[in-house]
């Protein structure tokens, strides 16, 4: 999964206006199960987890949040993320997510992340990388905006 970048509200509002033009007619996307977004791409390998997500994953794996965090997470600049972002996600098994029902927001909402939703990034990085772009369900601009808003309001700290 690609790393999330954190932006101030002015930057986000400006980008949001441009972004709305970019996806005003909606975008088709359907996961093709390539597993590519779960494999390592160096600095793009970070999967951030807030407390609720760590709780859900811990419950799914039948362990405590503390044990889950110790075993599977590292922390930098106040943000927890899954260990070893330079390797394939440790929950990826035979190209399938082993924690699918409890996978974090970042995984659930690929590829509609705020930092992806501009023409340049979409055309250069997202569309050529992900086989699901342009296929399947049409996400309306309203649906995409809702997903972006969800990301922007997500509390990733502690
Ligand atoms: S948690 Fe699941 S969906 Fe998210 S990167 Fe890992 S294998 Fe992929």
pLDDT digits (tens, 9 = 90+) for 42-59: 555 788 999 999 999 999
Give the count of beta carbons closer than 10 Å to the beta carbon of residue 152: 14
Atom of ligand 1 nearest to the CA of 1: 5
38 Cβ closer than 6 Å to some ligand 1 atom: yes
* Rounded Cα–Cα distance for residues 37 and 2 (Å): 7
Per-residue confidence (pLDDT) for residue 25, from 0 to 100: 94
Tell me the pTM.
0.79
Q: Is the peptide bond before 25 cis (omega within 30 degrees of 0)?
A: no
127 Cβ closer than 6 Å to some ligand 1 atom: no
CB distance 39 to 88 below 8 Å: yes
pLDDT digits (tens, 9 = 90+) for 66-75: 999 999 999 9
Residue ranges covered by each domain of the chain: 9-153
82 Cβ closer than 6 Å to some ligand 1 atom: no
Q: Which of 97, 102, 113, 130 to mutate to test the pocket of ligand 1 (most atoms within 8 A of CB)?
A: 97
Nearest alpha carbon to residue 57 among 118, 90, 49: 49
Supply 146's token pair.
Answer: 């809702």
Give the count of beta carbons closer than 10 Å to the beta carbon of residue 73: 17
* Rounded Cα–Cα distance for residues 113 and 107 (Å): 10
Please list the ranges in the chain whose pLDDT falls under 70: 1-20, 40-44, 155-158
Per-residue confidence (pLDDT) for residue 94, from 0 to 100: 87
């Amino acid at each position: 999964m690609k790393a999330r970048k954190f932006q101030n509200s002015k930057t986000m509002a400006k980008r949001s206006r441009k972004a709305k033009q970019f996806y005003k007619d909606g975008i088709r996307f359907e996961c093709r199960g390539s597993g590519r977004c779960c494999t390592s791409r160096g600095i793009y390998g970070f999967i951030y987890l807030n407390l609720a997500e760590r709780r859900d994953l811990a419950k799914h794996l039948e362990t405590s949040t503390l044990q889950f965090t110790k075993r599977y997470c590292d922390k930098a600049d106040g943000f927890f993320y899954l260990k070893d972002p330079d390797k394939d996600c440790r929950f990826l098994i035979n190209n399938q997510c082993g924690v699918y029902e409890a996978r974090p927001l970042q995984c659930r909402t690929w590829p509609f992340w705020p930092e992806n939703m501009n023409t340049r990034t979409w055309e250069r990085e997202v569309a050529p990388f992900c086989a699901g772009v342009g296929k399947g369900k049409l996400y309306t601009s309203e649906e995409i905006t809702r997903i972006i808003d969800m990301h922007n309001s997500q509390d990733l700290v502690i």
